[in-house]
Structure 1
Amino acid sequence: MYEYFKGRITQITPGAIVLETKDGIGYKIYPANPYHFEVNQEAQVFVEQIVRETELSLYGFATLTEKQLFNKLLNVSGIGPKSALAILAGAKPADLVAAIENSQVDYLTQFPGVGKKTAQQIVLDLSGKMDDFSSLVDQTSTTFADAESTDSVPSRSNLEDALAALEALGYASRDLTKVKKALVSETGSTSDLISKGLTLLVQG
């Protein structure tokens, strides 16, 4: 139904952003990494609306390619919106396409909610069906400023926000404990720490 929204980011939480359009409506959107954005930023966010018996949600993406990959993953039995979003958060689009086409099951099992059977199902369902992404070589997401707004979450440190965002993606507490130990001495924005945390989680 919706392709994208343009507007101003008015709120950021570890699991979602709120984008207010010019008509004054604020849309709650679930992106892979909310901290790619900043409060008061003008942004265009590609969206996919998921309507189910117990859910009416908007999932957001920095690029059209990410949205298309999200929808591809939803075609796989056993993959829901949250699992698909977690995969996209931890994998570069080109790497994900390569993993599917090369039947790299072990790579796919590193994401939350993806066991060996589900990873095999991803390969079975999507291998040979990724022609739309065959030219994907150096796909990069829209660059967003990393500056942190003190208005968004003033009571949290960047590390706490990053860990909360990873938890929202479905990563287990035991994995986050390991990541916290590795990141406790790191510096950078919340978005930087999320990216470093995802790298550690995917590499195992």
Structure 2
Amino acid sequence: MIVRLTGTIIEKTPPQCVIDVNGVGYEVNLPMTSFYQLPNGEAPGEETKVTLFIHPIYREDTQALYGFNDKFERDLFKELLKANGVGPKLALAILSALSADEFISAINQGDVSRIVKVPGVGKKTAERLVLEMTDRLKAWSERVPVTVMTSKQGEMQMSAPEALEQTTSPTNDAIDALIALGYKANQAEAAVKKVAQAGMSSEALIKDALKSMI
């Protein structure tokens, strides 16, 4: 079973990336909180690697890898999957709209109004999440994330060995990413247009659009 991948990011299409590991490409689904920290691909020829903690899901109709920049976030994803009515797509949407710390805080405080703003999470689902996960997450605020995503400068942001292809505009990429996370097309388009400014990357557009809706 795959639990960790170390390699080079060769393709980025939010909320997915492809990691080249010794010549084999692995498609990985990520929450946007982890996607923001992937290589930018702005410095061709610069050797960098990234490590993602992986949770694989194998079913009869699909096989998918879900990646996170630290074990803390991966473990929270796995806890979310244990909740009634929460599948991988919804868990990914939750951890894209809220950081791990923000979600844990919302659960511990019983803040249903904050959780319900995540796409696909209705009031009943939010209330059920609080009920099911409060006891399990009480001690999580004391845990320290173990992060291994690094660059040779020791920073979270890195440069890929060769420029990543940009086949569509950042605005379209951002809208497509929000739709993939569960937002309706009109919601995604309105949120992106609301925050869009000249020169913004797709990652920045997604981040600001998500903040505007939470």
Q: Sort the TM-score into its range (normalised by shorter chain).
A: 0.7 to 0.9
Let me know the Cα RMSD of the aligned residues: 2.5
Residue of structure 2 in register with 1:198 after alignment: 210
Using a 3 Å threshold, how does the CA distance of structure 1 residues 70 and 128 change in structure 2: closer, same or farther? Answer: same
- 2:100 pairs with 1:93: yes
Contact 1:94 1:138 in 2 (8 A): no
Query: 5+ unaligned residues in a row in structure 1: which ranges?
Result: none
Residue of structure 1 in register with 2:59 after alignment: 52
Counterpart CA distance in 2 for 1:98 and 1:140 is 20
What does the per-residue CA deviation read over 1:18-56, in whole Å, with 9 as the maximum and x for residues that have no partner? 11112x221110011345423575100111001223221
- 2:115 pairs with 1:120: no
Residue of structure 1 in register with 2:24 after alignment: 25
* Identity between Structure 1 and Structure 2 (%): 32
Written as runs of structure 1 = structure 2, the 5 A alignment for 1:67-106 is 67-106=74-113
Query: 5+ unaligned residues in a row in structure 2: which ranges?
Result: 42-46, 150-155
Counterpart CA distance in 1 for 2:20 and 2:144 is 33
TM-score by length of 2: 0.83
What does the per-residue CA deviation read over 1:98-127, in whole Å, with 9 as the maximum and x for residues that have no partner? 111111111111111111111111111111
RCO higher in structure (CA 8 A, sep ≥6): 2
What does the per-residue CA deviation read over 1:138-167, in whole Å, with 9 as the maximum and x for residues that have no partner? 9989522489x75422x3222221121111
- 2:38 pairs with 1:3: no
Contact 1:36 1:191 in 2 (8 A): no
Counterpart CA distance in 2 for 1:177 and 1:162 is 9
- 2:190 pairs with 1:182: no
1:5 CA drift (Å): 0.4
SS at match of 2:64: strand
The number of equivalent residue pairs is 199
Using a 3 Å threshold, how does the CA distance of structure 1 residues 162 and 139 change in structure 2: closer, same or farther? Answer: farther
1:180 CA drift (Å): 2.7
Contact 2:30 2:92 in 1 (8 A): yes
Contact 2:171 2:202 in 1 (8 A): yes
